[in-house]
Amino acid sequence: MRYTPKDIEASSRKITRRGLILGGVQVGFMSVLALRMRHMQVDQADQYRLLAEENRINLRLLPPSRGLIFDRNGRPLATNEQNYRIVVVREDAGDVDEALARIAHFVPMSDDDMERAKREILRRSPFVPVTIADRLTWDEVAEVAVNAPALPGVTPEVGQSRAYPLSEDFAHIIGYVGPVSDYDLSKLEDPDPLLQIPRFQIGKNGVEARLEEQLRGSAGTKRIEVNAVGRVIRELDRTPGQAGANVQLTIDHGLQNFMRARLGAESAGAVVMDVKNGDLLGIASAPSFDPNKFVRGISVADYRELTENPYRPLANKTVQGTYPPGSTFKMVTALAALEDGVISPDETVYCPGFVEKGGRRFHCWRRGGHGNVDLVKSLEQSCDVYYYDIAERVGIDKIAAMARRLGLGERHDIPLPAVASGLAPDKAWKRDTRGADWVVGDTLNASIGQGFVLASPLQIAVMTARIASGRAVAPRLVKSIDGIEQAAAPAEALDISPTSLEHIRQGMFAVSNNRRGTAYRTRVVDDAMRLAGKTGTSQVRNITAAERAQGVFRNEDLPWERRDHALFVAFAPYDAPEIAVSVVVEHGGGGSTAAAPIARDIALRALYGEVPPLSAYPSDQRGQIQALFRDLPLIDVTPTPTGRTRA
């Protein structure tokens, strides 16, 4: 078929028109594309540059230096030491078993260490560095560095680790740190990202745990360049974190060391408190443990030894342990009776050795009785019958109220875990908790610190400090944080007659200084340092009628766990009180024989600021005291007086 010139001309016009339309569409598309490219490259350049940068650069957290802990004189108690460690990147190391076997040629690793390291490596991303060994010596790290070509993916690093230079002396106060566990994270609603860092350590016990947020500090960052799969290419820059706050405690390290050494092998607790401002100068619990073992990773054998020890070395007996206060509670009963006006200081009570109430005999510790005794003599000789009599007259509710006024039955606010509140029971307490009415026998038992009454060594130290000062002093453990003094709570005057308090102080002075006093054997002969104290013995078992008939067994003839607890409280010097001391020896027997000698030595160490001079002791005891002090494992310290000193 042949096209005519007219057909050809018409077809050309159609093609030209289509071409123009197609060209216009192409021009329009290119224009839109150009505008879009301009918008992205010019108007949104910063946004896309940031997105590209985020794909290429990662931020990683840097752990800060943990805050240091010092004693009241600036002696370091918790420090950070250089820690050489080995890290492995699985992606670069290849076969994990082979890599660990190579490392074991240069770094000592047990089978348990190898297995633990393997589990840690496999649970992390392949490009994340994992610490498999730390606390290495310089020689070990240097050997790994020298052999680096044969150890792909293995890198030696330098970090920081917690150390406790005074070890067992402050274990129950400072506590220790340890790696963050899943349980730790579960307790936090919004955990600090720092806690996600492998092997990051936080406070697990003691001040380390209670002041964790202040001590931890804030994280630093480093910018690293990574490839598409997250492998680190290089480090671009870093910003160091902010170190944690330094904490200064009220404790005196020299006194603390002396207290722990003096408690020796006993299962015991002791507290020394400044009666003016409440500063805790010493808190010792025995036996103790080495907190450094927990930081490094305590072995199963070491941990089992601690948990299976019947003396409970992991427990802080000074604040967690609660005990029947025994006769140290008699000051509370006497003050309640004096303030209520049911007795006068000169009034006497006849003690035949027991009283009968409700068909039951309540015995005095002295089988033959004390005869007629007044307030001072009742404290001096610790007559139980005197307190049975006045307690029945004043009633348990007023005794319990007085106990709380003196700091018993109250949880004191200091940064230590599991601080016990003890128990100052009354009628309402028994009705609410036991579903039974209070009976007169409960009152008689409570009057001498037995029955339901419970107190910790810290609480009875507070009680003693309040009796000595006449003020509601509260215990304080933290002196300053980052140099900022932590103000002590204002100590208001007790709502107790000064005259009543003075009668109690006179009775306590008689305990330690009169020949018939229960603590006369542990008196101080330096007139300027004389103690005023009170012995206490609390039963942990019932004495049967058969035992009394044939003669009560002596404590030393009983198994350890059935012996009485021994207690002693004191303040000194008597004329111008500066310190209060409490000592509890678990199953120690008599307060006068087990607890009072320890308390006397501790009080004198606090007052003199150094090992007490022999001249403070009765002449017939000086040889024994000299031998005792010679064998104590004391640290070498410069004398740091916490009270008055004498030449």
pTM to 2 decimal places: 0.84
Task: Report the range of poorest mean pLDDT among 106-110, 281-285, 615-619.
Answer: 106-110
Q: Are residues 476 and 619 in the same domain?
A: yes
Q: Are residues 350 and 486 in the same domain?
A: yes
The pLDDT score that the predictor gives to residue 38 is 72
Assigned domain for 25 exists: no
Q: How many domains does the chain have?
A: 3
State the pLDDT confidence band at 639, using cuts at 50, 70 and 90: very low
Helix axes 384-394, 440-447, angle to 10 degrees: 130
Q: Round the average pLDDT of the chain to a whole number and report it.
A: 87
Assigned domain for 34 exists: no
Reported as a single tens digit per residue, the pLDDT across 592-611 is 999 999 999 999 999 999 99
The pLDDT score that the predictor gives to residue 640 is 44
Q: Are residues 112 and 191 in the same domain?
A: no
pLDDT at 263 over 90: yes
- Out of 33-42, 463-472, 554-563, give the one with best mean pLDDT: 463-472
- Out of 89-93, 196-200, 229-233, 250-254, give the one with best mean pLDDT: 250-254
Interval 490-494 mean pLDDT: 90
In contact, 375 and 369? CB cutoff 8 Å: no
Reported as a single tens digit per residue, the pLDDT across 443-487 is 999 999 999 999 999 999 999 999 999 999 999 999 999 999 998
Residue (of 448, 390, 463, 451) closest to 425 by Cα position: 451
CATH number at residue 492: 3.40.710.10
pLDDT at 229 over 60: no
Interval 421-450 mean pLDDT: 96
Q: Are residues 232 and 367 in the same domain?
A: no
pLDDT at 7 over 70: no
State the pLDDT confidence band at 3, using cuts at 50, 70 and 90: low
Q: Are residues 337 and 203 in the same domain?
A: no
Assigned domain for 145 exists: yes
State the pLDDT confidence band at 647, using cuts at 50, 70 and 90: very low
Reported as a single tens digit per residue, the pLDDT across 119-174 is 877 877 776 677 777 778 888 888 888 887 777 878 787 778 899 999 899 999 99
Reported as a single tens digit per residue, the pLDDT across 192-218 is 877 777 678 899 999 999 999 999 988
Assigned domain for 52 exists: no
Assigned domain for 44 exists: no
Is 327 tagged catalytic? yes
Q: Are residues 363 and 491 in the same domain?
A: yes
Assigned domain for 190 exists: yes
Q: Which one is catalytic: 327, 378, 538, 582? A: 327
Q: Are residues 96 and 224 in the same domain?
A: no
Q: Are residues 280 and 295 in the same domain?
A: no
Residue percentage of the chain with pLDDT more than 90: 60
Rounded-to-integer distance, Cα 348 and Cα 350, Å: 7
Domain extent at residue 580: 253-286+319-631
The pLDDT score that the predictor gives to residue 370 is 95
Q: Are residues 120 and 171 in the same domain?
A: no
At 272, list the tokens: 């020394």
The pLDDT score that the predictor gives to residue 42 is 66
State the pLDDT confidence band at 56, using cuts at 50, 70 and 90: low
At 89, list the tokens: 């990147």
Residue with tokens 């072995």: 299
Reported as a single tens digit per residue, the pLDDT across 608-629 is 999 999 999 999 999 999 999 9
Q: Are residues 143 and 282 in the same domain?
A: no
Q: Are residues 99 and 206 in the same domain?
A: no
CATH number at residue 112: 3.30.1390
Task: Report the range of poorest mean pLDDT among 22-26, 226-230, 355-359, 581-585.
Answer: 226-230
Task: Report the range of poorest mean pLDDT among 43-57, 76-90, 239-253, 577-591.
Answer: 43-57
Rounded-to-integer distance, Cα 59 and Cα 61, Å: 7
Q: Are residues 486 and 582 in the same domain?
A: yes
**Alpha-helical regions (H) of 74-154:** 90-93, 96-104, 111-123, 138-146
The dihedral through the CA atoms of 304, 309, 315, 320 has a sign that is positive
Residue (of 569, 549, 553) closest to 327 by Cα position: 569
User: What does 348-414 look like in DSSP terms, one character per residue?
Assistant: -EEESSEEEETTEEEE-SSTT--EEE-HHHHHHTT-HHHHHHHHHHH-HHHHHHHHHHTTTT-----
Assigned domain for 49 exists: no
The pLDDT score that the predictor gives to residue 183 is 81
The pLDDT score that the predictor gives to residue 180 is 83
Assigned domain for 16 exists: no
Rounded-to-integer distance, Cα 504 and Cα 115, Å: 64
CATH number at residue 63: 3.90.1310.10
pLDDT at 643 over 50: no
pLDDT at 558 over 90: no
Rounded-to-integer distance, Cα 456 and Cα 270, Å: 10
